[in-house]
Amino acid sequence: MRIQLKKKFMKTTLNDGNVHDFLNAVENETRKKDAFKVLELMQAETGQEPKMWGDSIVGFGQYHYKYDSGREGDFLIVGFSPRKTFLSVYIMPGFDKYKDLMENLGKYKTGKACLNIKKLEDVDEQVLGKLIRESYQYMENKYNK
């Protein structure tokens, strides 16, 4: 008996979606306003143009990864998504190497590589900008040299 395994495809892939149309469709006005501020902040800190990744993530830059298992792909370097309850900011190296910045950032919650902010006014935007810049530079140096 032969078993055929289906190859799993990553849903969050780069596409030609319109970033401004996506952000303008955000219903929560505070989250929409915050999203446009983070858009400007990420453009300034990365020097990159925003691109849509999947249906709901705005990303900046791209890197190629390859796991020991052989799985490989491409993903955004930094990005964000205006979710229902949070503005999620994606910092791909995680937060362990940025302890000083995290202590001074303000009010937030984190996952492995996800910084969840209820309102942008809850955090220090200069510290957030530095976190974005440093994590972007780290990923560029690690993957895109």
Beta bridge partner(s), residue 62: 76
User: Residue 100 pairs with which residues in a beta bridge?
Assistant: none
- CA pair distance 110, 88, nearest whole angstrom: 9
Query: Digits of tens for pLDDT over the chain (145 positions)?
Result: 444 444 445 678 999 999 999 999 999 999 999 999 999 999 999 999 999 999 999 999 999 988 888 888 899 999 999 999 999 999 999 999 999 999 999 999 999 999 999 999 999 999 999 999 999 999 999 999 8
User: Which pLDDT value is given to residue 10?
Assistant: 63
Phi, psi values for residue 53, rounded to 5°:
-125, 120
Q: Is 47 left (phi over 0), alpha (psi -120 to 50) or beta?
A: left
Domains within the chain, CATH numbers bracketed: 14-143 (3.90.1150.200)
Nearest to 88 by CA among 97, 99, 79, 75: 79
